[in-house]
Amino acid sequence: MKRTFTSSLSLWGVVLLLCTLSQLNAQDIHFSQFYNAPLSLNPAMTAVHSADVSFAANYRNQWNEAISNPYSTLFFAADKKFYFKGKYNQFVGGGLTFYWDEAGDASLSVAQIGLNGSYTYALDKENFLSFGLSLGFNQRSFKPGELTFGSQYNDGQFDPSRPTNEDFSNTSIFFANAALGANYHGQKVENRSQMDAGVALFHFNRPNQSFLEGDDSPLPMRVSFYFFPTIQIAQRFDLHFAGSAQFQSSYFEALAGGGLRIHISQKRTKEFALQLGGGYRFNSFGDAIIPTVQFIGNNWLLGLSYDVNVSDFKAATNRQGGPEIALRYTITNVPVPEELRICKLF
């Protein structure tokens, strides 16, 4: 029996609710505007959008006022649809991703270049299933010269010439990383209401991330759930909701939020909309309230958000979590003729 748009909305709402009940914390890179970084959530989201080609960039700077070397995260993604000849009810997606994450006095950093692939099949005009796979090539490094150790102190005075008595033969390592996932997309043909919901498994190959020779430190797997429903409530107004839950080893993070999108101009090729909203990050500390604003044009998007820390860490951060920016640009080719396809391009 085919899953309808409404029943899928309810099912994934229950899944998301169950996930947010845990009390853990996340390890991998994360974004408050996770809905604007879909390829960081699931490789099955590759090319699952209304355009033929998409370029996206996300930047996050966290705890800049609290620590001397704050967390900085940069993420780039590009993807493209490829149709089968004469079969416009299915397509494959190809994508390329890059991220760089750095933090701490030793500038501990992780960089990854990833290759994504996906396959999408239309069950009918309103229901689509996608499956995806990604392969990443990672470098992890740090700068030991920025650290100090107990053996370098002499009578309470720091002496940089004294040995650290630590093994720093490897300050940079390389490893391969793999992920897979599935996504459901539902849409209403007669209006703008739609939704995406999915699950992905990252690091299922458990690569060794240790800097020490002969030591085995497998990278924990991460399970990602998300849910993005949009409901058109009037000709110029939509309600947008988003939720995600990330599980990794004993850590957990969940985010939930929403906003009102106002379609200021609906003239073809000159569309412009403003979205105002906010969200909240859930973990064992409470963490942050996240006000957001988005500007959406015909083929571009600019998203701005700021984390307002409300956890016990607020004493150190003065409630300043960090700014985040999301950019997206899309290219749409000449639409496929209506008589050659069974579904609108979502």
pTM, to two decimals: 0.83
Which H or E element spans position 315? helix 314-317
The closest of 238, 188, 195 to 45, measured between CA atoms, is: 195
Q: Each residue of 269-285: pLDDT tens digit?
A: 889 999 999 999 987 66
pLDDT of residue 12: 42
Tell me what pLDDT residue 344 has: 45
Counting residues of the chain whose pLDDT is more than 70, the rounded percentage is 81
Would you call 248 exposed, middle or buried from its count of C-beta atoms within 10 A (0-12, 13-18, 19+)? buried
pLDDT at 285: 63
Query: Minimum mean pLDDT among 61-75, 119-133, 311-325: which range?
Result: 311-325
Q: pLDDT grade, residue 342 (50/70/90)?
A: very low
Q: Is 50 exceeded by the pLDDT of residue 201?
A: yes
Q: Can you give the pLDDT at residue 35?
A: 95
Q: What superfamily does domain 5-340 belong to in CATH?
A: monomeric porin ompg (2.40.160.40)
CB 177 within 8 A of CB 135: yes
Per-residue confidence (pLDDT) for residue 210, from 0 to 100: 84
Joined tokens for residue 255: 């985010």
The pLDDT tens digits for 220-247 are 999 999 999 999 999 999 999 999 999 9
What end-to-end distance do the CA atoms of the chain give, in Å?
Answer: 23
What pLDDT is recorded for position 9?
45
Cα dihedral sign, 195-135-22-324: negative
- Is the pLDDT higher at 224 or at 286? 224
- What per-residue confidence (pLDDT) applies to 310? 83
Average pLDDT, integer, range 202-220: 89
Domain boundaries along the sequence of the chain: 5-340
pLDDT number for residue 22 = 33
Residue 141 pLDDT greater than 70, yes or no: yes
Higher pLDDT, 331 or 345: 331
Q: Which two tokens stand for residue 283?
A: 């973990």
Q: Is the pLDDT of residue 168 over 80?
A: no
Q: Is 144 helix (H, G, I), strand (E, B) or coil?
A: helix
Taking the C-alpha atoms of residue 164 and residue 151, their distance in angstroms, rounded to an integer, is 6
Q: What's residue 158's pLDDT? A: 78
Neighbouring CB atoms inside 10 A of 203's CB total 20
Joined together, the tokens standing for residue 276 give: 């105002």
Rg value, the chain, Cα = 22
Q: Is the dihedral of CA 142, 143, 147, 151 positive or negative?
A: positive
